[in-house]
Homo-oligomer: A and B are copies of this chain.
Amino acid sequence: KDEVVTLAHGAGGKATRTLIEALFLEEFGNPRLAPLADAALFDVAGARFAFTTDSYVVKPLFFPGGDIGELAVNGTVNDLAVAGARPLFLTAGFIVEEGFPTADLRRVAASVGRAARAAGVEVVAGDTKVVERGKGDGVYINTSGIGVLEHEHDLSPASVRPGDKVLVSGTLGDHGIAVMVARGSLELEVDLDSDTAPLTELVHGLLSATPGVRCLRDLTRGGLATALNEIADAANVSIVIDEAALPIRPEVNGACEILGIDPLYVANEGKLVAIVAPEALAAAYSALGSSPLGIDTEIVGEVRADAEGMVFLDTAFGGRRVVDVLVGDPLPRIC
């Protein structure tokens, strides 16, 4: 039992999950929240909606390939997209630190505008709070989003079956490493952009191509390892991935070696993992790969019946090791 909140509780891994289940669900859980999916689903007036929220506390606010404003739009759009919804409307709540330059705030707001237009959503409500110097860090943004489901797919992990295939829509860890490099603490000269992007069209293409999509997750905090562990756990299956098949940029691999971390745990902000039925593999692979945001799509593993809840990696050297859930927080405030 942790007596105080630690950075690990915000890392998106084991400690986060424990806090959510043992504290938040305990105190205000309900059937719509309980699946702990990317977005919650509900029905009104015969339509099916997805509703989600994320707060963004990324440091630094501006990094190669994006900034907190763009992240705040794309991140919430992506939680709706992987729920199978078309994102419609966002809210944006700003918590600004006293003394923050209005020019920087405008730059962030402009990014929100640009990203919203690119993703086809409107920010229809906002809020502005200011906290004293030393009680914030420039600006924190919360976005919440609502979308409407356009497809019939049941994308809950419970529909995942042994024999299903695992695809990732592109290179792993780009966002997390780009932010770490931008922080300047690594003595690293790496030319790498965050992959922040809205996944709506990628998902729409995939779901239109085949009815065999079982489950989708955007790869954010905790990376592919955490997403797969959550799916394996919820579906009572194991998942085996193949190290040789994982698309990882050499710059990301290099930075991870220096940082002493595993790229499997590093965040993206414009990638997803898809679990698809074996008979849907070809259609899914070509749908993802033909989308501009999916050109590096790879088939990286498959679902097994044994060892329920476990994730394994077949290494390049012919071994097999357990890929555990993320413990601790190797990369704080990455999103």
| C-alpha spacing A53/B140, complex, angstroms | 14
Out of B16, B113, B122, which one reaches A128, CB within 8 Å? B16
Task: Give the contacting residue for A24; candidates B5, B47, B126, B146; CB below 8 A.
Answer: B126
* A241 interfacial by beta-carbon distance below 8 Å: no
Copies of this chain in the oligomer: 2
**A3 interface residue per 8 A CB criterion:** yes
Bitwise interface map of A from 84 to 126 toward B, beta carbon under 8 Å scored 1, else 0: 0000110111111111111101100110110010000011111
The secondary-structure label for the interface of chain A is: mixed
CB A222 to nearest CB in B, in angstroms, measures: 12
CB pair B131 A54 closer than 8 Å: no
Q: How far is the CA of A105 from the CA of B22 in the complex (A)?
A: 12
Give the total of A residues in contact with B, Cβ under 8 Å.
82
The complex places the Cα of A144 from the Cα of B287 at a distance, in Å, of 34
Q: Which of A12-26 contact B (CB under 8 A)?
A: 16, 19-20, 23-24, 26
Q: CB of A52 within 8 A of chain B?
A: yes
- The closest CB in chain B to the CB of A140 belongs to B95
Question: A102-B5, A122-B32, A135-B137 are known contacts. Are A96 and B10 too (CB-CB below 8 A)?
Answer: yes
- In contact, B46 and A113 (Cβ under 8 angstroms): no
Binds B, one of A36-44, A224-232, A258-266, A310-318: A36-44
Instruction: Name A residues whose Cβ lies closer than 8 Å to a Cβ of B.
Output: 1-11, 16, 19-20, 23-24, 26-28, 30, 32-33, 39-40, 42, 44-47, 49, 51-57, 88-89, 91-103, 105-106, 109-110, 112-113, 116, 122-132, 134-137, 140, 142, 144, 146, 148, 329, 332-333
Q: With contacts A9-B130, A131-B140 known, what are 20 further pairs, Cβ within 8 A?
A: A4-B98, A4-B100, A10-B96, A28-B92, A28-B110, A30-B124, A33-B122, A40-B125, A42-B88, A44-B45, A44-B88, A45-B46, A55-B94, A55-B95, A55-B127, A91-B144, A93-B142, A130-B332, A134-B134, A135-B137
